[in-house]
Structures are given as C-alpha cells and as structure tokens.
Amino acid sequence: MRLFKKERRAIVSNDAIAEKIAKKIIDRQSHLADYLNVKTSRLSRLTISYILFGFCIAFACYCTMLLFNSIN
C-alpha cells in the first residue's frame, strides 16, 4: 500500500517536448509549401508579380487608412 510514496514516472525533458513540437511545425510547413508550389506551378512569373504588386498596394492602402484613422 503506497499512501505516502510518490509513484516514479518517466520525466520527459523540455528539450524532447520542444523537439517534437518543432518537428510537427516543420512537417506542416513543408506540406503547405509543397501544396502551394503545386498550385502556383501553372502561373507565369508575370502573373505572380501582378499578384504580389496588388497585395502590396492593398496592404499599403490598409496601413494608410489605419494611420489616418489614428490621427483623427
């Protein structure tokens, strides 16, 4: 009967836990990168440049709007 004795458990170090989490994150990232590479392989370099330019313009407009709204 073990009323006052602690059970001995295998203690997993923080490094092992961090390594497992990092491995899962890297696996997910590489899977997502492969998926996006397949989807964008059909697009030309010019089309990708236009998409990037449009995204940058949209983000710049949003940041400008936030800046002007913070002043008022």
Domain residues for 24? 14-71
* pLDDT classification of 8: cutoffs 50, 70, 90: low
What total number of domains does the chain contain?
1
Q: CA 37, 34, 50 angle in degrees (round to 5)?
A: 25
* pLDDT classification of 59: cutoffs 50, 70, 90: very high
| Nearest residue to 21 via CA among 11, 10, 29 | 29
pLDDT digits (tens, 9 = 90+) for 9-57: 556 678 888 999 999 999 999 999 999 999 999 999 999 999 999 999 9
Residue 14, pLDDT score:
82
Q: Tell me the pTM.
A: 0.55
